[in-house]
Structure formats: structure tokens, C-alpha cells
A and B are shown apart, each in its own frame.
Chain A
Amino acid sequence: MANTSAAPAGTAPQDGTRRDFMFLATGAGLAVGAGAVAWPLVASMAPDSATIAAGAPIDVDLSPITDGQIINVFWRGKLIFVRKLTEKEVGDMKGVPQGQLIEPAAFDSRVKKGHDQWLVVYGNCTHLGCVPIGHQGNFEGWACPCHGSQFDAVGRVRRGPAPINLPIPPYAFQTDAKIRIGEEGGKAAA
């Protein structure tokens, strides 16, 4: 770089190196500056602290829910289904062969230990987020009106295009008739 043809004849060689330094320093300054400007612009679009604070755990009273009923609750703006399974549904779901499932998951992994009758799942289809309609479809569970996915009584996907089972939010039983959503084993969700 010190011998660039642009340097006019008679210029001292150190002029070239000074220009090189200016060029590199300016370029580095621009790159750092552009990054310093872009970072807050992008970061400001992330969920803000008020939104995060509003995402604290919630308690749900299970006592009014009757057999077979599904209720809607919201946590962090997300719809959650709380469903009390009937004895028949529990039996049917335990009997589903794993080979028939798109995403194999044992019955025990869908409920909390000792609370076989209670299902807590996110209420948005894992395809594109529509709300599946309860007690519809061929699997005692939900059918999505948007793109035809079907889920069984414990929220396992049985017919695509949804790729995975309805996810289970973090929750824990406080008593037999009360759950806290957003906290698992005494630890708050991130």
C-alpha cells in the first residue's frame, strides 16, 4: 500500500503509510459506529421490560372444571387450554400405540404424575398458530379449522400439517385443585 501509484512523485513515503492509517481507522470507526447504531435499533424491537414483567406466573383454580370440560386461560398473551379428561379419555389415550403418533410421546409425559385427569397445553396449533376447536376431529381432542391438523385428547398431533404435539407450558400443582402456570418446581420460567 505504501507504493500506490496514486502517490504523486516526490511525496515522502511516510505520507502513504499515514494515508493507510487514516483509511483503516476511518473504516474501522465506520464499522463500529454502524454496529453501535444498529444494535439499539434492533434491540428496541425485542419484548420490553414492561411486557416481560407482565409475564409473571398465574394461578388457575381447577375446582369449577367438570369432567370433559376445556377452559381457556391466558399467560403471556398466549392461549392455554386446561382440560379435565374423562375416565374413558384417560383409558383411550393410555392405549394409543406409540407407532401411530407423528411425534411419539407417552401418556405419562403429557400429564403431571398423580394427576392423570388434568391436561395443560398451549392452545395454538403448532402449524401456524390458529386455535384448534375442542371435541372435534377423530381423536377425542382438537381439530384446527385453518389447515386441518388434528390433535388427540392429550394434545398429541395425529394429523398434519402440524409438525409437533401441542407444547406443555411450565406449570406445577400447588394443591390438587390449583395449578400455577409459569413456574415449574418452584422455579420461575425465563
Chain B
Amino acid sequence: MKKILILLAHPRFEKSRTNRFLLDKIEEQPGITLNDLYERYPDFNINVASEKALLTEHDIIIWHYPLYMYSAPAMLKQWIDVVLEYGWAHGSRGNALKDKTIFNALTAGGARESYAHNEHNRFTLRELLVPWEQTAALCKMIYIPPFVVHSTHLLTDQQLVEYARLYRLLLQRLSNDEPHLENVRQYEYLNDWLLTDKEQLNHE
């Protein structure tokens, strides 16, 4: 069983309905560690050694955050800057994260359709996530598609419960090492992979 580390960066978690649904009692699932960065480092003074130790202990890393202005809250950038050191995470001798799996799990206010070339967000979400993908590549990690919850403020509680179930299913399947990563990478979102698999199951 693979161990999963969720790096949560939400400056106002107590006000985020969506993320509370997604992460409610998440740690009760075996093999999952929730690292709540804003709660741990309210002064932004990140303990690099302890973060490195956490990364070393886990096989799958998740950048979990709300999408703000096409990017992540400041804490996560701070985390990337101070934890992913040259010579440890990247560089010719920086192999500490080699072959670990990493992806973004994010919540966005805008609808999925609005992230397109002819829509007002002008880029697809995958295009906007290019820096993350390349950061993962630099650290010799395996980057897989993001898990995304769109139109967060329009979702009903029922829909949120459904998303939360989907996220749990994802973590469970990744932890059981089910997917062939090459297979997963062809999807735009991990949501798509989970849903098609589900449809196939329903068909059979």
C-alpha cells in the first residue's frame, strides 16, 4: 500500500465549504497524512527539515489548494521555494523525490467550460498548471493529471458529497497502486478517469 501526503494550503479553510467536504475525516482512511500548512506555519516560517522528512516518508504527494488568480495561495509557493532544495529535490545529486507521484487537487470558482481558449479565462486549466508540471519534472517526479472541483459556489450539498466520495475513491485507488500511470496520464483530469472507469464498470 502506498502512503499519501496531502499538502493543504488554504488561508481561510474555515470558510471553505467545498474543501471541508473534501477533506472531512480524510485522515481516517489508512495511509493518508494531511499536512495543513496554514495551520502549521501561521507565520510562514516553514520547518524545512520536518517537511523533507514527511516527503521522504510518502509515495504520493498532493498539492491541495483553492485556485486563486490562476495560481495557489502564497504559502504553497513559499513551501515550494524553501522545501524543494537544489541538491535534495533537484540537480544532478538531488534525487530525494525521484519517482514519487505528484498531482494538483484544486477547487475553482469558475466552470470547467470557462477554461478554454475562446472563453474568458483564455487558457485551459492544464495550460495554467504548466509550472507545476515542470516543477515535478525537475524533481524527477511522475506528474499525473489534476483532480478538480469546478463552480464551487454553485454546488449543492448533494453534489459536494458526491465529489467528496470521488476524492476518497481516488485516494484509495492510488494507494492500492491500481492505475497504470501511463493509462491515467491520457486524461485531462483525474475526475475523467474515475468517471469513465465507473461507466465501464456499470456497462459490464
* Genuine A/B complex: no
